[in-house]
Structure 1
Amino acid sequence: MANAWTEVDDIALCEAWEEAVTNPPPRGQGGLWVRVQQIFGQLRGPDHNRSVDALSSRFRVVRLECERFDRYFKRVEREMPDLDEDDQKAVALINYRHDEGQDFKHVSEWEVVADSFINYDNAYHVSMSPMVNEDFNEDPEIIKLRRSERFVKPAAAVLSPYVAYKRLKDIKAKRLRNEDRQIEFIKHWYPNCGSKHLSLIVGNSVGPNFWESLLGMDGRGWLSDDHIFGWMIHMYHSRNESDRWSILTPYFQNYFRYTAVDHTCKGYFTGQVDPFPSIHTVDEVYVPLYIEGAHWFLGVFNLLNYTLTIYDSLLNAFEKERTDVVCHINFVFDHWLRIHGYNAHRPLPLTYPFRVIYATDAPQQSGVLGDCGVWVCIFLDRLINKKPLNDDKDTQKTAERMRRQLALLFYDSVLPDTTTDNNLGDDDPVLEM
């Protein structure tokens, strides 16, 4: 007598079925359930082999119960959209136990195959006519099983274009709904959040005005150096050791203007201050620049051809002020390199040390908010990650999406406050990036 089905068996069966319907076997190689049997054997080993009939019969039982629970889950999803997915599942389990008089025992199996049921049931159907072309040398039981499924090929391999598009659209819509709920939470949370420390902004705390300006709730939307510093640290988190770029802090512009050269400034050059790499290991250095009290833009120093490229989202404004800042940073950066021994043998320049280039293809901001700081973050992301620089049909919407991304990122980096009553509570959502 075959061993009783265990939870491990059921999970392996569901995983085998999902793999089989996602990557169906070619016709003439035994059909769907023979493929399921092969995968199940690989997952559970030779000591747990099951016949095709046993596998298909057990799967129908598990599938029936999973589909029954899925109806409870879909109802909670519709009626309680503000809950996150784990809470929706918990409510659905309670409702199932109340209505069915027993616990739902296949949660893990449901998590494996729930989405695949939708794909599989929307695949192309075939005629049940006896004229269907089949290999009559196959086992009659296998032919019977194939007919019972009523599909040529299952799952994503043969989803109609409409079904495939609708599923992707539904996934995107759900993600946007989740983001909308998270952003609304942050809008209600920040006015009374007090002072918070962020893992992306070490050594400094931020208050409600940090979130207010980031979300544009103050009517201006001006990003501070804290916002840009936090995005810089985020970019460094994804940097590989072999990458040949560096980003200097948004405070670097003021070195040599208001303060003397200090140990930290030297650490940016030597790589002794984490996460900055040694300048000797990079080819490009990105420097956020600003016109005091008015405007942010980005400068990119190329150490191979000695150029300074300016990316500005308001290229036709602040021309005189921008020229002054570019002139200042050009000489400051060259001096910073020289005092630490980088290319000190080069003769002192009679004009600009770095040839200045203005990127005329940089996207230009629009809208009522001061999005220049937002566009510095976008430029950093696109240039470093080799993305198209200018593919924006609506730069205002692009900036709005970036503000949302920044808000979710910074909220996710909020550190627990162990000294005040401003701790993140258990009810505060964890925002997934």
Structure 2
Amino acid sequence: MPENQHTDLFEDRFATALRDTGHTFRTDDPAALVTGGRVRGRRAQLLRRTAVLGGAAGVALVGVGGALLLPGGTHDDPRRTSAAAGPARTASPSASASPAAVSFTGDDILRSLKELLPKGTYSEEAAEGTGSMMPPHAHVVFDDGKGAAAIGLSLNRVEPGSEQARQVTTCPDKAFVDHDGCTSTRLPDGSRLMLFRGYEYPDRRVDTKRWTAELVTPKGQHVSLSEWNAPAEKDAPVSRPQPPLSEAQMKKVVTAGVWRRVVDAMPASPKPSVTSEAPPQGVPAGSAGDTLVSLLPDGLTVTDRGGEGDYAFLVVDDGQGGSLVQINVQPGMSDVAGQLFGDAEKLPDGRLVTTRKSPGEKGAEGVVMWTADTLRPDGLRVVVSAFNTPAQHQDATRDAPALTLTQLREIALSSKWDAGA
């Protein structure tokens, strides 16, 4: 299950992400990766991917492009100015920036970040400015006298009004991401701001907390701030009860005007980071959640639901406790038939179907995931899973999921998923 961040990145459609990143991602069980782990956790992916990771290497996982950044420190750059000198007055190569736009060095980013933080000391500083091939970002270990804490900032663009822009500022459902609090508000200038107080590990096997602030402006400028109550994201002892910045202080940092100027100075992307929002051909009309509800067997009560478009989850109860059910409908998946359906049953009409029982979330005691995975001849894949817990990061609350493998198979093979249904 997901370990920090929300993720991965990836485009907002998982099928695209699978193709784009598959050649660099290895797993011992690609079928399990695709069918189980990625059908769940869209919101968790979103949160993971917007995190800026701590540690001496200053690793940053930038949210918008899914690019894993490995800044070993501030690199020599002939355009870099000293912190005291301010931003270099060098015209940006960006077609999106105005002729008078300036470039920002890593030192500029660090200096601006420090000016917005409370009084304290700094170590393990690393940053990249707008002159790098990587999106601008910064990492510091900050100590206000109450314990060292990693803080990371990343800057990028999203397509204004896109699903990605909306998702990055939408609070995750607790069925997938355990957290202590989350708010998503619209600011007077039209920007969306999410403030999230969660944990480094969804199963909370250690007490490392991770709090984030995500700001997306009407122009698509994306500012992401993360902080921990430890000097590194992982593998460092907790150094203080809470991360150092309050929600009000995180808001102050991400809403600072300097970050919008930095994003404006970034080189133009060669192509939009998000494709058309129109549903791909082959996805049935209506949301996957509505269709899934209509296919549930009698005797189940829906106690929670979420998702949109081709992904949905429900929590159902048959009188023996909550059971999480998830579904993903993916068109254009014929090219993975050999990987995922090599030993599948082939029905007379050409549909492929396979079922499996597998362990659930790591760290969640006794959780199992039962899955039915299907592929139509036209490439439409429907995969549905059920768990013996109402939240996949929590321990099992019942012996088995509320839906049997036979019932999951019937749901996945329903003609209601077919194009035009």
TM over 0.5: no
Higher strand share: 2
Higher alpha-carbon Rg: 1
Higher helix share: 1
TM-score relative to the length of structure 1: 0.21
TM-score relative to the length of structure 2: 0.21
